[in-house]
Amino acid sequence: MLERGDVANTWKRERWDSLRLLTPNWQTRLPGLGYDGADPDGFMGMPELIAFLERYAEHIDAPVRTNTTVTSVSPLPEQGYLVETDDGEWEAAAVVLASGPYNRPRVPAVAASLPPELEQLTPADYKRPDQLRPGRVLVVGASATGIQLADELLRSGRDVTVAVGEHVRMPRSYRGRDIMWWLDRIGRLDERYDEVDDLVRARHVPSPQLVGTPERADLDLNALTAQGATLVGRLAAVNGATASFSGSLRNVCNLADLKLKRLLDAIDAWEGLDAGPRPEPTRVDENPKVLLDLAGFDTVLWATGFRADYSWLNVPVLDRKGEVRHDGGVVRDAPGLYRIGLNFLRRRKSSFIHGAEDDARELVEHLEGHLGGLRLEAEQMT
Amino acid sequence: MSTTESAADNGVNVEALLDARNALTDAPEGAEFTWRATNEWLRGTHSKSTVEQYRGLGEEHQHRSTFSYEADHPEVFAAEDQGPAPVEFVLIGLASCLTAGVAAVAQNRGIQLQSVKATIEGDMNILGILGGDPEVRNGFNSIRVNFEIDADADADEIAALVAQSQKRSAVFDAITNPTNVSVTIG
């Protein structure tokens, strides 16, 4: 296992201070090691998660070579791959790419048009509110990261405007249970990549509007506007100091409200219960602003997602969007190459920590088959 | 979301659309379309537009016939009102795009439509186009669309049809988001 930094490197260095997992502690488990602390219904902050991952590395006695950055993975002439690092190279019959889905912030091209006096931050740079200048903040994006950071900035006393595109709204709990418990219960998290209706869509569903706090609070757009946030549509263009936002705000909120209702209906139907309490529809102004003068703002925070970095992957397996072509983690047209840890890799839960177990087991089976095939070939040749 | 076993028939060939999506994912250049119209001045603010060809799927296409539309300004603008105003064509474009989307999404979801009626209104302060107030924009300040839909579905399913139709609508996107427009002479 080659690790560019330490075990849990990304969680140690590339996330903001207040971040907690969206999944409750009881669900945060890896094969052979679950949560055994005092608060199974709580949510791990970064120090606890880092300790858990370090403990796991010890538990499985993982052969981790830390501080070893992979600089290139390329095909060998016959079969297998050459893995080059800043500390030696390996020839491997099989390689598993476990480099994470969120390596680089995805910042839209419009960022280049912003007035230079505006400070621009990504979630990779953001640590805590006092890092920002005191003035108004435009948070672009309203998925998990966007609403969490908007909430934190509102609490720090800042004036916050949130640009809202398509999003997934979820209550923290429903009928006294965590929503993640329900998603597990009704089988949503186990839905498989080869059974889902629209896999492209499923792999690109934004992260749900959730936060893991000790208060188990809901965090949605209504919670932000109750604290004084202004909602605008998706950021569409910037012209001089004027930003224009899509007129689709009402529809994206309506889509999310309807989808939330379908989820709660599905839970009720699963349990054979009458409809439970429904969250208030998202409150949207009669005429949300479509133009804003950015002169009044100090900071733009891009909560517009992340992308995987494959700059070191010298195997022609990327599609035109720069994503690895794979079938449930088995990389296409590259025997012995595997990918793990992507949204909906093999199941809806693939992107969660506990989702690694089933995916890893199935990919290892495939990988063993591949290595077995190579051995058989070698025997037949001798 | 069953598409094949559904008895619903709204006259939309959803299978063909889904096949096209799959085919174009592998051949993205075919997905590049260019839509065209010509417009000729008649007299006053009266003009005639013609639509007959478009490009897509890697080739030129001809509409089944040549479509012509006349536009003019209304009498309150001291014009002869020989056709809808251009802004009304924009409303027509949005309404017909959303209605087409409702039918397609309903078909894809196996929902039988009985009737669909959209009423559309756009508010505009004409001091913008008259140059009477530099603070006022020329275009619509807001547009409202109301659908009356009779379908074999409950209220939430119908609301979801209308929401999904907006999400996938070309004209809704064109109106709600900025687009570069270049106008040349030649």
**Residue given tokens 């035109």 in the structure block:** A320
| A residues 202..241 contacting B (CB < 8 A) | 233-234, 236-237
Q: Strands across the sheet with A330-331, in order? A: A95-97, A337-339, A330-331, A326-327
Alpha-carbon Rg for chain B, nearest whole angstrom, is: 19
Q: What is the DSSP letter of B17?
A: H
Asked if residue A140 lies in contact with residue A246, where contact means CB atoms within 8 angstroms, the answer is: no
The token duo for A20 is 């907690």
Among the partner-chain residues A236, A254, A258, the one whose CB lies closest to the CB of B177 is A236
Question: Angle formed by the axes of helices B155-167 and A249-271, to 10°?
Answer: 140
Both ends of chain A: CA-CA distance in Å? Answer: 32
Question: Rounded to a whole number, what is the largest CA-CA distance in chain B?
Answer: 59
Q: Is A374 an 8 Å CB contact of chain B? A: no
Distances in Å between the Cα of A185 and the Cα atoms of A182, A188, A268, B31 are: 5, 8, 12, 41
Among the partner-chain residues B25, B28, B175, the one whose CB lies closest to the CB of A247 is B175
Q: Check residue B1 and give its pLDDT.
A: 43
Closest by Cα among A103, A92, A4 to A334: A92
With 0-12 / 13-18 / 19 or more C-beta atoms within 10 angstroms meaning exposed / middle / buried, residue A237 is middle
The CATH number corresponding to A9-103+307-381 among 3.40.50.970, 3.10.105.10, 3.50.50.60, 3.10.129.10 equals 3.50.50.60
* Residue B54: HSE in the Cβ half-sphere, 13 Å Cα cutoff: 17
Q: What is the pLDDT of residues A113-155, one digit of tens each?
A: 999 999 999 999 999 999 999 999 999 999 999 999 999 999 9
Q: What is the pLDDT of residues A285-316, one digit of tens each?
A: 999 999 999 999 999 999 999 999 999 999 99
Q: Is A251 an 8 Å CB contact of chain B? A: yes
Q: Write b or e for each residue in B40-74: b if 16 or more Cβ atoms lie within 10 A of its Cβ, otherwise e.
A: eeeeebbbbbeeeeeeeeeeeeeeeeeeeeebbbe
Mutation for A interface: B145, B177, B180, B181, most A CBs within 10 A: B177
Residues B178, A237: C-beta atoms closer than 8 Å: yes
- Please give the angle made by the CA atoms of A106, A111 and A112, to the nearest 5 degrees: 120
The token duo for A162 is 């949130």
pLDDT of residue A62 exceeding 70: yes
* A323 Rama class: left (phi>0) / alpha (psi -120 to 50) / beta: beta
Contacts of B142 in chain A (CB under 8 A): 287
Asked if residue A2 lies in contact with residue A191, where contact means CB atoms within 8 angstroms, the answer is: no
Mutation for A interface: B21, B176, B180, most A CBs within 10 A: B176
Among the partner-chain residues B143, B163, B176, the one whose CB lies closest to the CB of A258 is B163
Q: How far apart are CA A14 and CA A100, in angstroms?
A: 12
* A255 to chain B: closest CA residue: B163
- The pair phi, psi for residue A94, each rounded to 5°, is -145, 145
Q: How confident is the model at residue B5 (pLDDT cuts 50, 70, 90)?
A: low
B37 vs chain A: nearest CA distance in angstroms?
26
Q: What is the pLDDT of residues B36-82, one digit of tens each?
A: 999 999 999 999 999 999 999 999 999 999 999 999 999 999 999 99
Q: What is the pLDDT of residues B96-107, one digit of tens each?
A: 999 999 999 999
Segments of chain A assigned to CATH 3.50.50.60: 9-103+307-381, 104-306
Among the partner-chain residues B28, B156, B173, the one whose CB lies closest to the CB of A320 is B28
Asked if residue A104 lies in contact with residue A125, where contact means CB atoms within 8 angstroms, the answer is: no
Among the partner-chain residues B142, B166, B177, the one whose CB lies closest to the CB of A287 is B142
Q: Is B160 an 8 Å CB contact of chain A? A: yes
Q: How far apart are CA A148 and CA A19, in angstroms?
A: 8
A206 vs chain B: nearest CA distance in angstroms?
15
Q: How far apart are CA A262 and CA B89, in angstroms?
A: 36
Q: What is the pLDDT of residues B157-183, one digit of tens each?
A: 999 999 999 999 999 999 999 998 999
Q: How confident is the model at residue B3 (pLDDT cuts 50, 70, 90)?
A: very low
DSSP codes of every residue in B110-144: T--EEEEEEEEEEE--TTTTTTS-TTS-SS-SEEE
Q: Is B175 an 8 Å CB contact of chain A? A: yes
B176 vs chain A: nearest CA distance in angstroms?
4
* Domains assigned to chain B: 11-84 (3.30.300.20), 85-177 (3.30.300.20)
Distance of CA A340 to the CA centre of its chain: 14
Q: How far apart are CA B50 and CA B70, in angstroms?
A: 9
Contacts of A197 in chain B (CB under 8 A): 1
ipTM (interface pTM):
0.88
Alpha helices in A228-310 (DSSP H): 249-271
Contacts of B177 in chain A (CB under 8 A): 234, 236-237, 246-248
A80 vs chain B: nearest CA distance in angstroms?
27
Q: How far apart are CA A170 and CA A329, in angstroms?
A: 28
B160 vs chain A: nearest CA distance in angstroms?
7
Q: Is A266 an 8 Å CB contact of chain B? A: no
The token duo for B175 is 């109106």
The CATH number corresponding to A104-306 among 2.60.40.1930, 1.10.3720.10, 3.50.50.60, 1.10.357.10 equals 3.50.50.60
**Mean pLDDT on A89-101:** 96
